[in-house]
Structure 1
Amino acid sequence: MSVNAVAHLNFHGEARAALEFYQSVFGGQATIATYADFGMPAEAPGAGRVVFGQVVADNGFRIMAYDVPGEDAPPAKAAPSTRRENGTTITTEPFFLSVRGETVEEVGALWERLADGATVIEEFGPAQWAPAFGMLTDRFGTTWILDVAAEYAPS
């Protein structure tokens, strides 16, 4: 039996923009279906919002998202509730999304694209535990950790 866990993000009218942005960052194929595609009358409020969306890339990246029904406008964005102090992460968020790659160059390129419009919590750079690490909250309010896999010598 094979099982995959995939992050499913909930938005309030921003799912299409988020999925298109994540596709521009990570590549792959976006699939986006609206409530109208699933039978809601096209003239109904919210019919054009995303009922099912995902981005799947050959590099292993996969994310899902939809727009929560019933909200006419996105909720006000609160300041990020994550910060770094003295090398420690202080947060009230229930989760982060983590992206790990094999080289500083490949992960650094993802960082540059994902950082567009983001709030940087920790700049991408060398860390004690990894060749490179960085943390940011993107323009849609999702907090990401990007790092480069460290090579561990067996003990």
Structure 2
Amino acid sequence: MAELNPYLNFADNCEEVFNFYKSVFGGEFLTLMRFGEMPAEYQPAEGESQKLMHVALPIGKHTVLMGSDTPGNMPTPVKGRNFSIAIQPETEEEAKRIFDGLSEGGNITMPLSKTFWSKSFGMFTDKFGIDWMVNLQ
């Protein structure tokens, strides 16, 4: 069965936000990756290498709070609307079924495809205006 986690997006203060959340929830980051650590073909724009590409903080037995800064070539996140639901399916078939089903009638931002961090990843806004990320490890 797939797992759901909140995914937060920030313009340029994701690290500050997640250090604050860490001070409240405790624990350690499962992942903290900067844009400058991406493979050469995905290098960020000048001045963005220290921004966070992905951070993950466990905040409960089955919940991980995740987030990232938004690159300058993408729209600036709007406070109060700067989140997605991240879903982690267990199989490629489940990833495709969920992606195709939930994105029907919506707007696909990034088609479901292989990335350097996962077997399959895609993003979309469903027909009700909810942002989703499907990430198969």
Superposition TM-score tier, normalisation by shorter sequence: 0.3 to 0.5
Normalised by the size of structure 1, how large is the TM-score?
A: 0.41
More helix by share: 2
Normalised by the size of structure 2, how large is the TM-score?
A: 0.46
Instruction: State which structure, 1 or 2, has the greater radius of gyration over its C-alpha atoms.
Output: 1
